Structures are given as C-alpha cells and as structure tokens.
Amino acid sequence: MTTLPEPAPRPAANAANTGLVRSVLRSPRGAIVVAFLVVLILACALAPLIAPYDPLAQHLSAVRSGPSGSYWLGTDSLGRDLLSRLLHGGRSSLLGVLEAVVTLLIVALPTGLLAGYLGGTFDRIAMRVAEVVMSVPVVIILLAVLSIFNHSMTSAMIAFGVLGSSGLMRVIRGAALTAREELYVTAAELMGLSRLQVVVRHVLPRCRGAIIIQASLFAAVTLGVQTGLTFLSLGPPPPAATWGGMVADAASVFNQDAWMLVPPGATIALTVLAFGLLGDVVRDVSAEKYAAAPASRRKRRTGTPETAGRPEPATDMLLSVRDLSVATDGERPLTLLDAVGFDIAAGETVGLVGESGSGKTMTARAVIGLLPGNCRITSGRVVFDGSPVQDLDQRAFRKLRGRRIAMISQEPMAALDPSFRIGSLVAEVVRAVDGIKGKAAHARAIELLRMVEIPDPEAVARRFPHQISGGMAQRVAIAMAIAGRPELLIADEPTTALDVTVQAEILDLLRSLQQQNNMAILLVTHDWGVVADVCTKVVVMYAGQVVETAPAGEVFDRPAHPYTRSLLLSSPENTHVGERIQAIPGSVPTPQRWPAGCRFASRCDLAQPGCTEGAIPVKDISEGRLSRCLRVDTLLGGEARR
C-alpha cells in the first residue's frame, strides 16, 4: 500500500470552513449586534410577562412624567408607561418584519436559485417578471393593500415581501450562476446527483452569505416602512401600542416634552442600525470565507469549422465516438470540435493527447453530456455500450453519470465542496448511486476510501477537504467516481496538479482499480510519460480534430503525424540533461483562426502546397492506426499504405 505525505496546513482554506454563524459571532461587531437583536426580540416576545404595566393603562396622575423609579422610561400624554408600550409595540413591529422577510425568502429563494442554476427559459421568464415587479410603485401598492384589507399590517408586510423579492431574487441568481461554475458543483452533477440535490447541497450553501445580507438589509428597510405606515395611522388603530404610533404621539407634543420621542426613536434607530450592521458583518465574513476558499472556477473561453470522419460506430466497443462536432450557440456559431472520432474497448485505457486548446476537455465533456452552457453537439454520434447517448436529455444522462460513466478532474480539491466532511461527500454519492442511506452509506463510503488506498479512512472521513493533501483529495475524488462501479472513467488530467511522486501513486491506483474492475479509462493528458505508463491506445488531437490514433506501443517509435512527432520531441522525457527542449514553433490556432486544409501546416516542416488546399482525409495506416496527414508516407519512410 502506498503512503501519502501528511497534508500541509492551509490556514486560508480553514476559514472557508468555519460556520458562517460562528464567524459572525466571533467578530466583536457581530457579537454586539446579535446580542442586541436577541435581547430585543426576547424582551418583546416576553412583553406580557415582563412589561411593568398594561400598555393601555392610563395613569393620569403621572402624565408625561419623564424617567423615574416607577416609570423607567417615563409616560406619555395619557400617563401610559412608555417601556411597556415599547415592549408590546415591538411585538407587532418585529412580527411584521418577520412576515415580510419570510415572504421575501419564500418567493426569492427558489426562483433565484432555479433561475441561476437552470438558466434558459425559466431564467428569462423569472428575470422579466422581476423587472416588472421592480417597476411597480411600492407605496401605492401598500396603501391599496391596507385599504383593501382593513388596515391589516400582516397583508401589507406580505405584499412588501413580494415586492421586495425581485431584488433578492437577482442577487441569489447571480450567486447561483457563480456557484454553477464551481468544480465541485460540476463534480456533483458528474456523480449523478439530481438537480434538486445539487441545488440544496452545493449551490444553496454558496449563496447563504448573500441571502443573509440581503434579508437583514431588507429587515431594516421593512422596519422603517412599517414605522412610517403606523406613524401615518395606517396600521392598527389607536390605542394599540405600535412604535410608529408612539413616534406620532411624541411628535404631537414635541415642543412641550421632547423626551417622549427618545425611547421609541432610539429603539427604532438602533434596531434598523442592528439589522443593517448584521448585513455588513455577514458581508465581511463571507468575503473572507470566499477569498479563502480554493479558486475553482471553470475557465471559460471564447473560441470555426471543417470536416472528415470515419464510418459507423463500432458496436463491439464500450464507447464509440463518430464525427462528433461541437459548436457554440448564438447567431454566429463557432465550431470547437470537428468530426472527432475514436473508440474505447471495455477495460482499455486510451490517452487523449494534445496541446492546450486542442479540444481534449471539450471531447471528454461531450462524452459525459456536460458541455458548457453555451456549447452543443451539432453533429455526430456518441455510442455507449451499443446505445447512442448524444440525444439523451439531462435526466436520462444522469442515470448514466456516476453509475456507468464517471469523471475526475485535474483539480481534485476544487471538486470537493469545502463545507462538508470527506465522509459526508462520499456518502452523498453512495446515496445517489446505490440508494442506501445512513450507516450503510457511511460504511460503503469508508470501504471506498479504503479501496483507493487511503490510510486510516475513518479518520480521513472526519476531515474537511482543506485538511487533506492534493494527492489524498484526488484519491477521494476517485473514490467518489468509482462509487457507482462505472464501466468508463474519464480522467481529465488527473495528475497535473500533483507532485511527481504523488502522480505516480495516483497512476498506480488507477491502473490497479482498472484491473480489478475491468474499467475503461479515457485519460486526458499532456504528458507522454503518463501515456507510456498506463495507456494502451493514444488519440492525438489538434485544433478540434483527431489527427492520429495509434496503439501506445507504436506511437513512440513511429508517429504517423508530424504533430505527434513534434509533441514527442518537445516532451521533457525526450530531452537529455543540458539539452534545450525542442518546443514546437507557434501555437495551436484558436477556433476563430482554423485555416483551410491541414491545421498544423503552418507549424509543420513537411508541409507542402497541397496541405493547405482542402480538408485532409483520415488515412488508415495499419490495424488500429489512423492519420490525418497527406505526407504520412514520407513521415513513415514510405511504409504507409492506404
């Protein structure tokens, strides 16, 4: 069994995992604000028990008495105790705030999350409705509601919550859009979790900060609006105790007794301030947390067309990709993959090689049905175990993903949601793919961690992702990927982010898992060493096309495409100490700049005029060998035949 280096501590990521509530309470401002709000809410809730007087009782012998031992905050013009009225008035004021905030969350939360996560038509409709709601004059609507519902403050607060929801909905949508790009959200989808599970477990927690901030600011505004309405006598009629009503009473005698305004005015101001400050504290704490979280955004790039291909999909293959083309959406679609084709047999490891921007990741994502939102398959077929899968809807694809086809990425740490313990993350996938729950799911999670050779899996299951090393994180990602016993594992540069020793360990692990389970692997890599180590076949991609397919054992000695040859020569393994690496001059053309004819011609020393005249056909060189090169005979020394 291989041993793993101890994880290096990552203080920054540590902060990302401390609970939001705990972080707020740890900050002095947060603690003061929360303490104030808790005391206020408790005092108002317990008003019937703790208020010294009946809020309506008039003590005509002590009218406008000012603070005293009997009346701590004094009395009003009718001799009513101000403290008792404040406590009782707070009940209706805070209840009104609660009603408005709950309504706000009920409307904005699901709509914003779904609009951001699902996008498409739902998003467009939700955004249009939000715009309409935002343009509605709030005060007029509130006055109308109050007059229709007989001055019912509850109706007014519910209406205010609905009207305010469009702002929060947009904020949540934005946060969900960002969360959707997180690798751990993609990883959860790859593991076969349903949309609801992904939203609730992974997207919602990411939006939590934004939600609390907006809700507390909204609470502050609501309190202001509600006080204004009761001040104008649009709420519960006198003599009911309301904060706004107390301000109105005090305002009418302000010239004779200014003190009467102080208790209600200070309470309202402090409460509005506390709600506002709470939002600020949560914003600061969230900013620290997200700055500390691992950078895991998926790179998005902007990226034109041509063709060639091979006949029918091979039916005896586990995976058969034929003439697969992918393009961006929009008025001027841009082709990113052009008639890509290859096969993978059961239990085979195929290396997908090429420089950055060749289309390797796009190919892998097309196979697993998770193309970026702005891209779609425009032609071709992906046949998995005899069945075409390219037209499957997301629901049907989810049944395949995680169970029959799984994927691991080059950023294992970013693929693990920092808010959950390792055991919980693995058990979540087990629940999704095996349908087992509770202790059984946990036991299977431990078994999987043991299968990927993690020493002391029980202890590791209790750790958070930031508490383990990159190599161990990749093992955890592999454990999650093999939970559904997939027949095909797509590994997108699984060792790129790891140091050399750990790389070798992970490759050994993949090889042994593959042998134990007869699992096929599509290994996306830049590294010829990795190809030599684990692959049986290699598919070389360049500028969105497959330019060569060869058995791994042959390609090193007899590359059948000048690009493959250049890639091999530029590989560090082929460079002796003290020699300069023979870098390939130029760079891979972006999809906007794909030339007519051979896309590698401008960088190729064998290129001749014919190479740039038209689409280059794929040539069958020998059993299992294909090349998209007109000069392949010259390259192979005249050995190649049609």
Ligand X SMILES: Nc1ncnc2c1ncn2[C@@H]1O[C@H](COP(=O)(O)OP(=O)(O)OP(=O)(O)O)[C@@H](O)[C@H]1O
Q: ∠ CA 368-372-374 to the nearest 5 degrees?
A: 135
Q: According to CB under 6 A, which residues from 369 to 398 bind ligand X? A: 372, 374-375
**How far is C-alpha 537 from the chain's CA centre?**
34
CB 597, min distance to ligand X, A: 19
- Region for 376 from its dihedrals, namely left if φ exceeds 0, alpha if ψ lies in -120 to 50, beta otherwise: beta
Q: Does 358 bind ligand X (CB under 6 A)?
A: yes
CB 265, min distance to ligand X, A: 55
CB 343, min distance to ligand X, A: 20
Of 175, 157, 146, give the one whose Cα is nearest residue 104.
Answer: 157
CB 570, min distance to ligand X, A: 15
Rounded Cα–Cα distance for residues 234 and 227 (Å) = 10
Given 362, 429, 433, 446, the residue binding ligand X (CB under 6 A): 362
Rounded Cα–Cα distance for residues 465 and 28 (Å) = 28
CB 571, min distance to ligand X, A: 15
Nearer to ligand X, 354 or 369 (CB): 354
Q: According to CB under 6 A, which residues from 303 to 322 bind ligand X? A: 303
Nearer to ligand X, 252 or 394 (CB): 394
CB 547, min distance to ligand X, A: 13
Edge-to-edge strand order for the sheet containing 335-344? Answer: 335-344, 319-328, 375-384, 387-388
Q: What is the largest CA-CA distance in the chain?
A: 118
Given 226, 328, 335, 545, the residue binding ligand X (CB under 6 A): 328
| SS3 call for 315 | coil
Nearer to ligand X, 3 or 592 (CB): 592
Nearer to ligand X, 336 or 626 (CB): 336
Rounded Cα–Cα distance for residues 176 and 149 (Å) = 36
Given 30, 244, 591, 597, the residue binding ligand X (CB under 6 A): 591
Give the binding range for ligand X (CB under 6 A) out of 46-54, 295-303, 505-513, 612-620. 295-303
Given 244, 351, 354, 486, the residue binding ligand X (CB under 6 A): 354
Nearer to ligand X, 130 or 339 (CB): 339
Q: How many residues bind ligand X (CB under 6 A)?
A: 19
Rounded Cα–Cα distance for residues 335 and 304 (Å) = 4
Q: Does 361 bind ligand X (CB under 6 A)?
A: yes
State the number of CA atoms in the 13 A half-sphere of 100 facing the CB: 29
Nearer to ligand X, 354 or 471 (CB): 354
Tokens standing for residue 121: 């038509």
Rounded Cα–Cα distance for residues 4 and 508 (Å) = 13
Nearer to ligand X, 5 or 373 (CB): 373
Nearer to ligand X, 124 or 301 (CB): 301
Q: ∠ CA 286-290-292 to the nearest 5 degrees?
A: 120
Phi, psi angle pair for 41, to nearest 5° = -65, -45
Rounded Cα–Cα distance for residues 196 and 131 (Å) = 26
Q: Does 301 bind ligand X (CB under 6 A)?
A: yes
Rounded Cα–Cα distance for residues 561 and 539 (Å) = 11
| SS3 call for 340 | strand
Give the binding range for ligand X (CB under 6 A) out of 17-25, 213-221, 273-281, 299-307. 299-307
Rounded Cα–Cα distance for residues 113 and 288 (Å) = 23
Rounded Cα–Cα distance for residues 153 and 98 (Å) = 12
CB 408, min distance to ligand X, A: 14
Nearer to ligand X, 333 or 347 (CB): 333
User: Can you give the C-alpha Rg of the chain in angstroms?
Assistant: 33
Give the binding range for ligand X (CB under 6 A) out of 154-162, 166-174, 236-244, 352-360. 352-360
Q: According to CB under 6 A, which residues from 232 to 261 bind ligand X? A: none
Q: Does 357 bind ligand X (CB under 6 A)?
A: yes
Q: Does 589 bind ligand X (CB under 6 A)?
A: no
CB 593, min distance to ligand X, A: 10
Q: Does 359 bind ligand X (CB under 6 A)?
A: yes
Please give the residue ranges that form the binding site for ligand X (CB under 6 A): 300-303, 328, 336, 354, 356-362, 372, 374-375, 590-591
